[in-house]
Amino acid sequence: MSIEVGSKLQGKVTGITNFGAFVELPEGSTGLVHISEVADNYVKDINDHLKVGDQIEVKVINVKDGKIGLSIKKAIDRPERPARPARPERPDSKRQRPGKPNDNRNSRPENFESKMAKFLKDSEDRLSSLKRHTESKRGGRGARRG
């Protein structure tokens, strides 16, 4: 039996490192189960999941340059999740959201450059208004002194 991508095999854990576990496969070949392929949840320490000598079922996920990539979590048969039902249409799709103006509903959305230009113009207007206001209170630049 040759080792092909997608095949499920029984193997024996021969070594554990901080990045995964080496598994001896039939015919004497060895593959690696990366730590991210051990379980569906986050694996901080692989020793919590595997021990040297454990018999495990693995799935071959890649074979590259003689190196065999294995997965424990993909070897587990899970029932297919049912497809999500389509979202129902909203009956009143023209309804205005609170706080949002309804004037440009049918126009194209603004691109980043036009939004940025609009923001900069608004920012400059506010800043110049603020400067005018504070300078007149402090008596700066052309304000009356008295």
Q: What is the 3-state secondary structure (H, E, C) of the chain?
A: CCCCCCCEEEEEEEEECCCEEEEECHHHCEEEEEHHHCCCCCCCCHHHCCCCCCEEEEEEEEEECCEEEEECCCCCCCCCCCCCCCCCCCCCCCCCCCCCCCCCCCCCCCCHHHHHHHHHHHHHHHHHHHHHHHHHHHCCCCCCCC
| Distance from C-alpha of 10 to C-alpha of 122, rounded to nearest angstrom | 67
Tens-place pLDDT, residues 78-113: 777 777 777 777 776 555 555 555 555 556 677 888
Q: Which of 5, 25, 6 is nearest to 14 (CA)?
A: 25
- What was the pLDDT predicted at 47? 92
pTM for the full predicted model: 0.53
- What was the pLDDT predicted at 120? 93
Tens-place pLDDT, residues 25-81: 988 899 999 999 999 899 999 999 999 999 999 999 999 988 999 999 998 877 777
- What was the pLDDT predicted at 17? 94
- What was the pLDDT predicted at 99? 58
The highest-level CATH class for domain 8-71 is mainly beta
- What was the pLDDT predicted at 144? 55
Over residues 112-126, the mean pLDDT reads 92
